Chain A
Amino acid sequence: MVETHISPNRKQPRVAVVKFASCDGCQLSILNLEDDLLALGAAIDIAYFPEASSNMQEGPYDIAFVEGSITCPEDLPRILELRQQTTTLITIGACATSGGIQALRNWSDIAAFKQMVYPNPEYIQSLSTSTPISEHVTVNFELWGCPIDKQQLLRVITDLLQEVKPRIPIHSVCLDCKRQGHVCVLVAKGLPCLGPVTRTGCGAICPSMGRDCYGCFGPAEHDSVHPPGVPPNTTSLANQFHQHLQLIPVEMVRRFRGINGSVQSFSKESHAWEPKK
């Protein structure tokens, strides 16, 4: 990962918020900053944020927050141009960081998908895959989550304003769930909770609401001085689901092939449970 920095000559960094294929939820997290939104508006120069402002300025930008994944032929030149215009490029959310839920197409026949949804599929321009931004250009920092957590977003912005490299915890949400004192839904309720292999950041909301984590913050990494750290032990958790919760292979595939199903550690696990041809 490249060191991030803000041009020291500028007091207010010029910021762009740019969208590819996504649901808008991560951009909305910026507008959901509520009490902090006006302070943020004073601390940075929002040069390009079409969802919020008709005043759209051209680059270059000090920081670009990128939402959404690459799914169309037209996306490719756009992301390359944005990269050239941007000092610090940060992905926000599962789509931009891992390909997102629309990456479920990566296991399917896209031509059949088009036919299923559109009477005239020939009008539709679409790539056969949904891929993360980092597959196309250098990304300086990745903020996970579907949606991102607004406190984590604020933390990243604050770090950048202080001209330090953003630091966000990468350990598993299971640890924070224990710290918060929730009853373990895997042990007590027998639910296939992905918390042990999922990155922290959401606040352990699923177990706090009495249900199993479904991995929307992507894979955790184990402690390591320099990220990327060691990937989580998905195999051990999968075996637990299979042996103790009696999940059958097709359920295991679905479990790991969800919102971040395309990210390597999760996709490796879902492939391992596919029926052998």
Chain B
Amino acid sequence: MPGNPKNSRTIKIDMMARVEGEGALNVTVKDEQVQDVQLRIFEPPRFFEAFLQGRHVDEVPDIVARICGICPVAYQMSAVHALEPIFGVEIPPAIRDLRRLLYCGEWIESHVLHIYMLQAPDFLGFASGLDMARVHPDLVKQGLRLKKAGNHLITLLGGRSVHPVSVKIGGFSQVPTKDQLQGLKDQLLWARDAAVKTLQWVTGFAFEDPEQDYTFLSLRGPSEYPMNTGQLVTNEGHHLNVPEFEEHFHEEQVPYSTALHCTFQGKSYLTGPLARLALNHDQLSPFTKEIFAETGFSLPCTRASMGIVARSVEVLYAFDEALRIIKEYEPPPSPSVPVIIKAGTGFAATEAPRGVLYHRFHVNDDGTIHVAKIVPPTSQNQRRIEDDLRNMLPNFLHLNDTEAAAKCEQHIRSYDPCISCATHFLKFTREEVS
């Protein structure tokens, strides 16, 4: 580190905590003006797109799951939905519903983890969910039990909650019986009540970060809150088909990050729970709408910290939706439909807990992958996080560096960034040059 010029300071704070991944933040301040904001991600590259080449399509769901231990189902879902159209596979309604149920499980376990163990400690002034448990044991127990209910759903359908094993092209290797799904009902009914309490609890938090002018991006389908299907829509009136994704969204590399930055028509945008809720709240279940309306919270939420509210709404919806699917479930005649492998190109985007997850595959006629392209939600939000910080940093400049860094770290955390793949490092560097 070179010596600081006169009147400039360089401050390092401890590691970024309670996020998945390693990030650093460099802020340059000159004459009381924010010059530059760089969110630096050190995620060691794991080269999934490269080593998928030459693997057989049947192996893809098991391999892409390993991109993320928090949202493996999202990767499996985007993969099978991208590959199935190549082979002309039509998925029967019961299998479609089971995939939606599996996704409900993942939204629940991922969101509840973030609500209770990662973000709520910021609002209540604790270093961790475990510390919070010493003062509020019943609250944290409720969170852990909610998370367990989500994990149970994934385990029943997929064998285990992290890297489930049953998802395949054409359906599942095995599907549950009606009785097995009914066996979840009591737990889900308890959980839906607890999800109501969670939503009521988080809407009472103090949201102090400034409002942002967001371009929201999410999927939207004709009739249901988006998970596996839909068009790409924005609050600026765009309606794009998924195969058009790469025409409008561009990944750029910046020298300070191993995650690529994705922009929409040259601008930053936001994907994830806040965007989904803003663009699809009319498709929530009647029960979820009713409870949310009672909280008096107005939409759209344009503060990043309100991500905790959007996640809590989606947890409630996911339990309600899971109960609906379980009630209506009739097992499909076969766990999967036959698949005839052929060459071609397929695209899909699904709604991972953190937002739009895009996959494109080119398949050779022997069923091996020729090209794989994967755009995860966090690389899409990375530029938006920088823009947010640029907008809000002027409010923090009167604070000392530790306090300013803590504000930035909380803000980054509120996005629930999933920058898996490294240790967690937030080096906050503020250089003041006068």
Contact = CB atoms under 8 A, between A and B. Distances in A.
A41 B129 CA distance: 10
Interface residues of B, number: 68
A119 interface: yes
Interface stretch (B83-91, B141-149, B191-199, B238-246): B141-149
A135 interface: no
A104 B166 contact: no
B423 A117 contact: no
Contacts, number: 197
Interface string B50-89: 1101011001001100111110100000000000000000
A108 interface: yes
Contact of B15 (A23, A35, A56): A56
A29 B147 CA distance: 12
B324 interface: no
Contacts of A274: none
B422 interface: yes
Contacts of B144: 34-35, 37-38
B160 A123 contact: no
A116 interface: yes
A22 B113 CA distance: 19
A34 B127 contact: no
Interface in B290-349: 335
A53 B421 contact: no
Contacts of B133: 38, 41
A126 B47 CA distance: 10
B165 A71 contact: no
Interface stretch (B16-24, B220-228, B270-278): B16-24
A206 B15 contact: no
Given A38-B141, A208-B159, A211-B165, A105 B47 contact: yes
Nearest to A94: B66
B69 A23 contact: yes
Contacts of A108: 50-51
A124 B258 contact: yes
Contacts of A52: 17-18, 117, 128-130
A26 B69 CA distance: 7
B76 to A, nearest CB: 13
A209 B423 CA distance: 34
Given A21-B421, A38-B133, A124-B258, A102 B47 contact: yes
A105 B51 CA distance: 7
A209 B166 contact: yes
Contact of A210 (B158, B173, B420, B424): B173
Contacts of B159: 205-206, 208-209
Nearest to B251: A119
B200 interface: no
- Residue among B55, B137, B172, B253 facing the most chain A CB atoms (10 A cut-off): B253
A236 interface: no
A24 B165 contact: no
Interface string A17-61: 011111111111101101101100100001001111111100000
B424 A113 contact: no
Nearest to B109: A32
Interface string A182-202: 000000000000000000001
Given A20-B422, A23-B67, A53-B18, 14 more contacts: A24-B70, A25-B66, A25-B70, A26-B69, A32-B161, A38-B144, A52-B18, A52-B129, A75-B44, A78-B423, A123-B255, A206-B159, A211-B166, A251-B56
13 contacts: A22-B420, A23-B69, A32-B109, A37-B130, A37-B144, A102-B46, A104-B51, A117-B49, A123-B255, A147-B162, A206-B165, A209-B158, A209-B166
What 9 A-B pairs have minimum CB-CB distances, sorted nearest first?
A: A25-B69, A53-B128, A54-B17, A205-B159, A55-B127, A211-B173, A50-B424, A210-B174, A113-B50
